[in-house]
C-alpha cells in the first residue's frame, strides 16, 4: 500500500487543526479583551490607564540614544532627571563619561550649557518646537519621556477600539486645561491615539498628529521593566514625521530610580559666553 497519500492526508489534517487552533485562540483573546469596553466603554480604558501610570515625584535614569535623520546617525549617552511637573534635567556625555552638555527645561524656559565650547544658551520652550518642527509643551514632553498620558489636558470624549490585540483610545481636539495655559494661548492636540497593553494597561504606543494631508506626526513606542513594584519605561522609540522629512530617536534607559529625591545642578560659570543657539 502506498503510504504517501495517507501521510499527505494526515499532514493536511494536522495543518488544518493548527490553523483552527490559532484562529480560535485569536478569536477567544479578542472576545476577552473586547468584553470590558463592550460593557463599560472608553471610560474603563482611560481610568485603567490612569490607575496604572507611573507614580513618581522624582525620576532618574541613565540613557543611551541614537538619533536618525535621513541617512545620518548620531549616538550619545547621559543621564536624565525629572521632578514631576517642574523640571527636566539632562546631562549628555558622548564618550568616556566626560560631560559635553547640560540641559535644564522648565514650563517656561530652556537653559543649555556647552562644556566643550564654554558657551550657554537661554530661551523659552518654543525653541524646542522650532528645532523639531512640532508642537510640544512641558507636560507633553514629560509624558513622552516617562510613558504616561498627558496630565493637564481635558479628558475629552475618547473612543475605544481593539487594534492588533491591544486596546486603542482615540480622540480629537483634546485641549489643555485653561488654568494651565500660559500666555493666553489655546493649546490643543488635533488627533491623539493611545494603544494600551491588555495585560497591564500601560501605553505601548502613543501618537499625536495633524489632520491635514502631510501634517506633522509624533509617535512614541514603549517597552517596560518592573522596578520597585512599578512598570518603568526601558526602551523608547520616537518618530517625528513632517511633510519634508522623517526623524527617529531610539532611547534605552538603565539604572532607573523613582525612590530617591534628586538635585538638578545647573550653574553657568562666569567665563561662559552667551550664544543665540545650541
| Cβ-contact 210, 192 below 8 angstroms | no
Give the cell for residue 258: 523613582
User: Using 50, 70 and 90 to split pLDDT, how confident is the model at 184?
Assistant: low
Alpha helices in 110-184 (DSSP H): 126-132, 138-146
Predicted structure pTM score = 0.84
Q: What is the pLDDT of residue 156?
A: 78
Q: Is the pLDDT of residue 251 over 50?
A: yes
Q: What is the pLDDT of residue 211?
A: 85
136-157 tens-digit pLDDT = 889 999 999 999 999 999 987 8
Q: What is the pLDDT of residue 212?
A: 81
Place of cell 510640544: 136
Mean pLDDT score of the chain, rounded to an integer?
85
User: Using 50, 70 and 90 to split pLDDT, how confident is the model at 215?
Assistant: confident
Phi and psi at 190, nearest 5°, equal: -55, -55
Q: Distance (Å, rounded) from C-alpha 163 to C-alpha 34?
A: 11
User: Using 50, 70 and 90 to split pLDDT, how confident is the model at 8?
Assistant: low
Q: Which of 22-26, 58-62, 186-190 has the lowest mean pLDDT?
A: 22-26
Average pLDDT value for residue range 12-40: 49
What structural domains and CATH numbers belong to the chain? 50-274 (2.50.20.10)
Amino acid at each position: 500500500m502506498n503510504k504517501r497519500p495517507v501521510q499527505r492526508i494526515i499532514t493536511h489534517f494536522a495543518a488544518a487543526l493548527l490553523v483552527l487552533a490559532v484562529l480560535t485562540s485569536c478569536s477567544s483573546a479578542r472576545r476577552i479583551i473586547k468584553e470590558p469596553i463592550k460593557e463599560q466603554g472608553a471610560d474603563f480604558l482611560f481610568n485603567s490607564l490612569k490607575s496604572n501610570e507611573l507614580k513618581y515625584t522624582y525620576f532618574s535614569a541613565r540613557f543611551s540614544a541614537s538619533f536618525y535623520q535621513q541617512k545620518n546617525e548620531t549616538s550619545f549617552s547621559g543621564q536624565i532627571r525629572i521632578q514631576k511637573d517642574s523640571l527636566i534635567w539632562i546631562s549628555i556625555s558622548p564618550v568616556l563619561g566626560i560631560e559635553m552638555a547640560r540641559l535644564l527645561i522648565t514650563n517656561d524656559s530652556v537653559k543649555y550649557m556647552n562644556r566643550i565650547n564654554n558657551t550657554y544658551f537661554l530661551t523659552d520652550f518654543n525653541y524646542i518646537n522650532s528645532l523639531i518642527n512640532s508642537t510640544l509643551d512641558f507636560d507633553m514632553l514629560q509624558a513622552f519621556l516617562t510613558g504616561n498620558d498627558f496630565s493637564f489636558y481635558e479628558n475629552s470624549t475618547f473612543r475605544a477600539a481593539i487594534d492588533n490585540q491591544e486596546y486603542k483610545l482615540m480622540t480629537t481636539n483634546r485641549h489643555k486645561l485653561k488654568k494651565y495655559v500660559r500666555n493666553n494661548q489655546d493649546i490643543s492636540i488635533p488627533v491623539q491615539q493611545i494603544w494600551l497593553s491588555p495585560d497591564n494597561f500601560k501605553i505601548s504606543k502613543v501618537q499625536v498628529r495633524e489632520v491635514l494631508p502631510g501634517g506633522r506626526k509624533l509617535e512614541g513606542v514603549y517597552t517596560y521593566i518592573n522596578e520597585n513594584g512599578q512598570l518603568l519605561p526601558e526602551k523608547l522609540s520616537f518618530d517625528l514625521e513632517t511633510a519634508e522629512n522623517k526623524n527617529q530617536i531610539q532611547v534605552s534607559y538603565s539604572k532607573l530610580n523613582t525612590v530617591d529625591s534628586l538635585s538638578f545642578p545647573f550653574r553657568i560659570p562666569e567665563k561662559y559666553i552667551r550664544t543665540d543657539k545650541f
